Structure 1
Amino acid sequence: MRRMPTQQAFRVDGCKGRDLDQAVHRGRSGISSSKLGRMRQAFRAVPLLFAMALLVSCTSSVTPQHERNVLVIDMIVKLDRGDYWRTIRMGAEVAAKEYNVQLNYMAPSNENDYRDQIALMEKSIARRPDAIILSASDYEALGQVTDRSSYYDIPVISMDSEVASTKVKTYVGTNNYEAGQKAAERLVQLIGKNSQVGIVNFVKGARNADQREEGFLDYVARFPGIEVVDIQYCGSDEELAYRLTKEMLAKYPGIDGLVSLSAESSIGAGRAVSDLGYGGIVKMITFDNPPEMLELMQEEKVQAMVVQNPFNNGYLAVAAAVQAARGEKLEDRIPTDTKLIDLDNMLWPEHQKLLFPFVQ
């Protein structure tokens, strides 16, 4: 709004506003009392009109047009800590900035308790965001609350770990069955076709955990001489993974190879193998790339890592949520790749980007 000069004199019926009182007191000729009354009313209205115009101007400047087009997207993941989830969040926040999204990132403190995630989903649905991104800690248990979101026309994007709901718009993430097969193939190459194997998994019932385990077991089932002697679940608790691995190695001292299927299970299992002096003797394939695993791989106590692309998972999930919120059609699945990284290829540039996503 154009600002009015402070010294400008308003005119009503040919009389300057600053001379109004003088006209009244001096009895200026040609101005009747009724005309003076109308002039007074007009001048009383000027400050009010000016204030209203100023208010409209200020309101417009506080709420620019682009801010009124912001989409609100809730992202509910499995755990509130860990490099893997931190990298997912980083990718999601980059996409949120690009797509003009208000991203609300939420996670329980315990991946093993799906009830916390259900509560987060219920709170999210009550807020009516434009879309929800969910990494379900339990495939079956999160299905009903995911279905409920469709009653309010809130699209749900499944990321990292799938959910038992036909209402999700798409899945973004790793082909977990294939990733389990990659781990099994490399372990068989290392230990041979007549050997004993142990598995340290994370959450039984989580779709990605189940699919990785299934892929691994289906691959080693091709070799009758390979025996899977034990499968343990640590609930994404590093200390529990440590204890369970020590117990497994004590109970089955003939184990030739171990696979751990998440970052937390890998940290605990890797530390147990190292502390017991089995590093390099018991061959290990791990998942994800926490710093502890990189160190153990350089010490040749871990032979290879199946590394996902969590940055892409987060970024593409937000991009898909934006499309869903706009009513656009999505592919059923948006896959992100995994790489099998070892000492021989860890310095490849494309692998360095996966191993060290926070280094610019």
Structure 2
Amino acid sequence: MKKRRSALIQLAILTALGAAVALTLLLPQMSGLHRRPQPLELSVIIREQDSSFWTNTRMGMEQAAGELGAELRFLTLATANDGREQWELLQREIEQGADALVVAPADPAALEKSLGELDRDVPVVTLESPLEGADLSVVVPNAEMGASLAQAALEDWKGGTVLLLDTAPHCTAVAQRLAAAKDLLAGAGVETQVETVSVDSLASQLPELLRQLSPAQMMTFEPAATEAAASVKSLEGLSADLYGVGATAAVVAALDQGALSAVAAWSDYAAGYLAVDGAAKLARGERSEMKPPPFFLIRGEDIYEPDNQKLLFPVTS
């Protein structure tokens, strides 16, 4: 009887020791279940030197980053549309360990070539302009947008030349919009004049251009240029009708005040959200596919339509 009791005691001790060993092995794995994954580090490199043009885009990015456990590093250029500087920033961010990059290309052709020669395993997502070699692009249908904007100008046209302002000659998005607008207007028998001018010099050069060319209408194809042209038109009291793109606060205000006749707008907020969502998924080895974000043609009287309010005045949840 005593031997049996002693055997039972020994068995109980061995069982307890075995359970303790098993628990010791399991504890690190169990604690890992409650440990938050390391946040992703995503670098965003735009082609502007002033990030205010990207406020709504950034709001969408930050919303996605918060939901997906990512940290954003938002970088601007010392000189707007400087492709070389942007490439140097991109290389630096890869070397410093960014998990993915979101880029609005300043010079898509040059960036495409350089990216193709770079040995990398860091996903690259582009905004605005499609890029061969990028892992994903969040791009509105630029040619359709340019044609739609030209159609709005054509509906208002009463004769005269239409001035097309090319403020980013190396940017694919701007080039596609301008070319489509020019083609549509030419097909309708409207004379156009293309002038290349930087956004920074619009304030000083636009009044003189208008005096020389006396256009009936003028068109811009990027938000920064639209803001600048609308400001010049209001300050100088210029009479040419202005058509542009974008949904920044300044663009919306100019549209509301009549400085802009119409804009082609898309949801910067949604584009920013989709870009970061795609970049995070790619960084984690997941598939990500993208449909082109839609755009909308909006005139001043349409600003406060319910659907347009959601587009022009985004709010975070």
Q: Shared fold by TM > 0.5?
A: yes
In terms of fraction of residues, the more helix-rich structure is: 2
Partner of residue 91, structure 1: 60
Structure with larger RCO (C-alpha < 8 A, sep 6+)? 2
Aligned-residue identity in percent: 23
Give 1:242's aligned amino acid.
A
Q: 2:238, 2:230 → 1: CA distance?
A: 10
CA contact under 8 A between 2:247 and 2:312: conserved in structure 1? yes
Question: How much does 1:122 deviate?
Answer: 0.8
2:291 equivalent among 321, 334, 351? 334
Q: Does 1:287 align with 2:245?
A: yes
2:77 aligns to what? 108
Q: Deviations over 1:112-135 (max 9, x none)?
A: 311210111110121233222111
Alignment of structure 1 residues 94-243 onto 2, 5 Å: 94-149=63-118, 151-163=119-131, 165=132, 167-192=133-158, 194-224=159-189, 226-234=190-198, 236-237=199-200, 240-243=201-204
Q: Which has the larger radius of gyration?
A: 1
Contact 2:51 2:76 survives alignment (8 Å):
no
The alpha-carbon distance between structure 1 residues 107 and 278, as it changes in their structure 2 partners (threshold 3 A), is closer
3-state SS of paired residue (2:168) = coil
Q: Encode CA deviations 1:313-353: one digit per residue, 9 max, x unaligned.
A: 1100111112222333343x531111111122111122112
The two structures, once aligned, show a CA RMSD in angstroms of 2.5
Pick one of 266, 271, 282 that aligns with 1:324.
Answer: 282
State the distance in 1 between where 2:97 and 2:113 align.
17
Q: Does the 8 Å CA contact 1:87/1:310 hold for their aligned counterparts?
A: yes
Measure how far apart 1:82 and its partner are.
4.3
Is 1:262–2:222 an aligned residue pair? yes
Change in CA separation of 1:299 and 1:74 when aligned onto 2, cut-off 3 Å: closer
Contact conserved, 1:263 with 1:290, CA < 8 A, in 2? yes
In structure 2, the CA distance between the partners of 1:66 and 1:292, relative to structure 1 (3 Å rule), is closer
Amino acid in structure 1 at the alignment position of 2:234? S
1:77 & 1:293 partners in 2: Cα distance? 19
TM-score by length of 2: 0.83
1:203-236, Cα deviation, whole Å (9 max, x unpaired): 1111111111112112112122x111232332x3
Amino acid in structure 2 at the alignment position of 1:179 = M
SS at match of 1:133: strand
Structure 1: tracts of 5 or more residues without a match: 1-52
- Given candidates 301, 305, 324, the residue that maps to 2:263 is 305
Correspondent of 1:351 among 304, 308, 315? 308
Pick closer, same or farther for the CA change 1:335–1:251 going to 2, 3 Å: same
Equivalent pair of 1:160/1:208 in contact (CA under 8 Å): yes
User: 316-325 or 140-149, which moves further after superposition?
Assistant: 140-149
Q: Deviations over 1:273-310 (max 9, x none)?
A: 3344334xx22112113444434333333211111211
